[in-house]
Structure 1
Amino acid sequence: MDMAAPIPTAMGPPPMICDALTLAQWLSPSFPVGAFAYSHGLETAIQDKRIRTPKDLEDWLVDILLQGSGRNDCILLRMAYACDHPADLEHVDATARAFAPSAERLRETHLQGTAFSETVRAVWPGEQPDLCYPVAIGYAARRMGLDLSLTAALYLQAVIGNLVSAAIRLVPLGQTDGQAILAALTPLCRDIAAQTEGKTQDDMHSMAFLSDIAAMTHETLPHRIFRS
């Protein structure tokens, strides 16, 4: 006897799964923001021999997450998500630009954010102004009703993933080493996403001085692969 076909149901997947799938698409290397072209100053640190081992890279990324642009981006993303008026969103975007420590880092967040917004407008029609990258993602997540904490955590993981990918191309660093670093930093991404809840621009700061200086110095490197 043939088994009956499954009865279709109107129930879809849980909302959190839908959120995760949309964010996985937005933050995938295949999403056309050009993230592969930027190293966030990492190229300078590698040329200066500050990063030569997997441990060096992990320590560098921990500082970015805890004391530098990682934490600040997470706050900016949350601030953008909370915006109710265009003027508020413009203020958050201006804050993001003001906190960029170098011309290349400003270009990095501006161009990635613009590319992200262009694609979102084309695929998910609706208001999506051109904004700095974390601001654009925070606003898009608000517009789509995506979970904020999940958005923040996955954003941080994607940023670190891009930097690990850049380091693999520049350091004698294998794919397995890169994945081990990502796995080790995943709990930190989750924790920073949680710790930045309710934070505002008054809570933003940067003490990742070597990362910021590396980003500034990158502008004058005679030979470089990346745009930042």
Structure 2
Amino acid sequence: MATDGQILRLAQWLSPAYPVGAFAYSHGLESAVATGAVADGAALTDWLADILRFGAGRSDTIFLRAAYEAPPEDLPRIDALACAFQPSAERRTETTAQGAAFARVTAAVWPDDLPDFTYPVALGRAARLHDLPLGLTARLNLQAFLSNLVSAGIRLIPIGQTEGQRVLTALQPLCEEVAGLALTETLDDLAGTSFLADIASMTHETQYSRLFRT
């Protein structure tokens, strides 16, 4: 069972106040809203559910687990695979920039020997260094990932704060399910079939008017 200190450490790392710049990224959602593919809370719920099941929700959890369990000499290989797995230039920036920021801040505060890895690899390695429970780390990371995208949806669609909380609440059981399954999988099980979200991240690169970096 996780201790109060472990829970609070993860809450700090995954809080919007932790300066990784997550607020600047929409994971392609801005493009999906601009094209009308996501126009209300129900559509946002469906969009995010697919990202959880078939996209970065699942794959990032696999990378997180691999980094958590790997010896230090294997981390560069895992990180290179995490970079190669990104479907677009913007998505690569999203994971590398947030990972570098997380590593930089975490190493400065504690300090840790934490290179500038992609975000799930950096988080997985940091959790291992701090002896934080893998399952709790994975679940809270997915919750934080969803919270950030729901916040983006609130601003972009727009939907109200209360509707945003309904979306997040509706997705919590799936968040637990995806994390639980992904934690039983290895890098050999990696796959990505959230094609519309991937295409949205590509079209966002040339979108004329943008609030978000991705």
Question: TM-score w.r.t. structure 2 length?
Answer: 0.98
Structure 2: tracts of 5 or more residues without a match: none
Match of 2:60 in 1: 73
Which of these two proteins has the greater Rg computed from alpha carbons? Answer: 1
SS of 2:211's partner is coil
Cα distance, 1:172 vs structure 2: 2.5
Q: Distance in 2 between matches of 1:53 and 1:201?
A: 35
Match of 1:10 in 2: none
Cα distance, 1:58 vs structure 2: 0.2
Q: Which amino acid aligns with 1:178?
A: G
Q: For each residue in 1:105-145, what CA deviation from the matched residue of structure 2 results, as whole angstroms up to 9, or x when unmatched?
A: 00110000000000100111121111000110000000000
User: Which of 158, 161, 168 is the equivalent residue of 2:144?
Assistant: 158
Match of 1:219 in 2: 205
Q: Distance in 2 between matches of 1:40 and 1:138?
A: 20
Cα distance, 1:15 vs structure 2: 4.3
Match of 1:40 in 2: 27
SS of 1:169's partner is helix
Match of 1:95 in 2: 81
Q: Which amino acid aligns with 2:141?
A: Y
Match of 2:187 in 1: 201
How many positions carry a matched residue from both structures?
214
Q: Distance in 2 between matches of 1:101 and 1:40?
A: 11
Superposition misfits of 4+ residues, deviation over 3 angstroms: none
Verify the 8 A CA contact 1:16 1:147 in the aligned structure 2.
no
Q: Distance in 2 between matches of 1:96 and 1:170?
A: 28
Cα distance, 1:157 vs structure 2: 0.6
Q: Distance in 2 between matches of 1:159 and 1:15?
A: 21
Match of 2:36 in 1: 49
Q: Distance in 1 between matches of 2:55 and 2:2?
A: 32
Q: Distance in 2 between matches of 1:198 and 1:67?
A: 16
Structure 1: tracts of 5 or more residues without a match: 1-13
Match of 1:182 in 2: 168
Verify the 8 A CA contact 1:110 1:131 in the aligned structure 2.
yes
SS of 2:71's partner is coil
Q: Distance in 2 between matches of 1:181 and 1:192?
A: 17
Cα distance, 1:155 vs structure 2: 0.3
Alignment map for 1:123-134 (pairs within 5 Å): 123-134=109-120
48-57 or 15-24: bigger deviation: 15-24
Q: Distance in 1 between matches of 2:146 and 2:198?
A: 16
